[in-house]
Amino acid sequence: MRIVIAPDSYKGSLSAVRVARAIKRGVLQIFQDAEVFEAPIADGGEGTVEALVVATGGRIFPETVEGPLGESVESFWGVLGDGHTAVIEMAAASGLPLVPVAKRDPRITSSYGTGQLIKSAMDSGFRRFIMGIGGSATNDGGAGMAKALGVKFLDSRREELPKGGGGLSSLAEIDLNLLDPRLKESEIIVACDVDNPLYGPRGASAVYGPQKGATPEMVLELDAALKNFSEIAREATGRYIADFPGAGAAGGMGAGLLLFTPAILRSGVEIVFEAVGLASLIQNADIVITGEGMTDYQTAFGKAPAGVGKIARQFNKVAICVSGGLGQGADDILELGINAVVSITPRPMTLEECMESAEVMVEQATTRVARLLKAGMSLSAIG
């Protein structure tokens, strides 16, 4: 029997790699002779580098960069097993978990460290990139990232602006003369699963600003700043990207990448699936097990388990989703190729208890699923 294990992370609790390993242990409790293939996946946010590097046999490179508040943080970037594709996740340098709750203010947080990761990878000779931009703490339109790559953002007195989204309200000129020329030689594929424009009612500030610490007053300020940024950037680059689907992703990082690099925005799930060769693995499998931290109605809108289910259906394979919890609409993914969805929780528990014991519960829940599968196989043999 061949079993492919392709879970996403349990956000805030377990990385996709740890979830996959726990599922494997649970499977082998019952199917000791099974061939098990681990293919941890991600959607472009936290854990993307680890998932891709592990799945492809790549390597991770540590890097010290500037965090969202200007402090030094220990970050990293990776190289896929192909040896020529660098993979970067914004969360590792400019992510929300790097900012204490009491200090969250998207007017001052910067994406500068993400630009430093890109520069470091280019310094090492890489010109092909996969970038995950989920989980950001910023609302600066990717200006911090661009600054690290040589772009100057100037006010009316031609003085450089302070880092952060708030300063963009004073932006009067963008100087591209020192933009790193190596970007023109590069291919940058961006994992982006949202279609928000840069500003407006569905823009970066209005939709995602509050979760990064923005008050209603800050949202208005940041939205106006991004509008100004868009207009000045149009003058400097000749590109109008404010309404481009995904421009508002990651506090406008989608826009920044489109403006200052040769980036292409694509579905994060599709990028990861291609990188790990998931379709080929599933085609040659008997059973597929996926999972995520919370399965609900949002899962069917393109999250990782839904993508796994679609591939499993394409090849007529059994697919099971093992999730940290089930919310309203969890069964919606049963229409997308997932045959069953189960929760790891064995009894009523608080969220804190679940997170503390998640790895053990994933393994135990998978063992229960494997027992049911074995019983079903026995019934099939009898029939």
What is the distance, to the nearest Å, from the Cα of residue 93 to the centroid of all Cα atoms in its chain? 13
Instruction: Give the mean pLDDT of 248-275.
Output: 94
Residue 205's nearest CA partner among 158, 276, 139 is: 139
What pLDDT, on the 0 to 100 scale, is given for residue 349? 84
What pLDDT, on the 0 to 100 scale, is given for residue 269? 84
Residue 307's nearest CA partner among 19, 44, 15 is: 44
**Is pLDDT above 80 for 12?**
no
What pLDDT, on the 0 to 100 scale, is given for residue 78? 97
- In the chain, where the domains are located: 2-39+277-382, 48-268
Strand-pair category, 173-175 with 152-154: antiparallel
- Mean pLDDT (the chain, rounded): 94
SS3 88: strand
DSSP state of 3: E
Q: Torsions phi, psi of 56, nearest 5?
A: -105, 0
Q: 48-268: same fold as 2-39+277-382?
A: no
Confidence of residue 51 (pLDDT cuts 50, 70, 90): confident
**Is pLDDT above 80 for 2?**
yes
Q: Which residue has the tokens 């899962």?
A: 299
What pLDDT, on the 0 to 100 scale, is given for residue 383? 58
**Is pLDDT above 70 for 325?**
yes
DSSP assignment of 267-305 equals: -HHHHHHHHHTHHHHHHT-SEEEEEEEEESGGGGGT-HH
Residue 310's nearest CA partner among 348, 271, 341, 282 is: 282
**Is pLDDT above 90 for 220?**
yes
Residue 226's nearest CA partner among 194, 195, 210, 249 is: 249
What pLDDT, on the 0 to 100 scale, is given for residue 382? 67
Lowest mean pLDDT among 153-157, 177-181, 222-226, 305-309: 305-309
Task: Output the CATH code of domain 48-268.
Answer: 3.90.1510.10
DSSP assignment of 202-261 equals: TSHHHHHTGGGT--HHHHHHHHHHHHHHHHHHHHHHS---TTSTTTTHHHHHHHHHHHHS
Lowest mean pLDDT among 167-171, 192-196, 325-329: 192-196
Residue 108's nearest CA partner among 207, 210, 213 is: 213
Residues listed for the chain: 383
Structure tokens at 85: 């594709």
Contacts of 13 (CB under 8 A, 6+ apart): 293, 324, 354, 355, 358
Reported CATH class of domain 2-39+277-382: alpha beta
Confidence of residue 45 (pLDDT cuts 50, 70, 90): confident
CB 119 within 8 A of CB 94: no
Structure tokens at 274: 């291609």
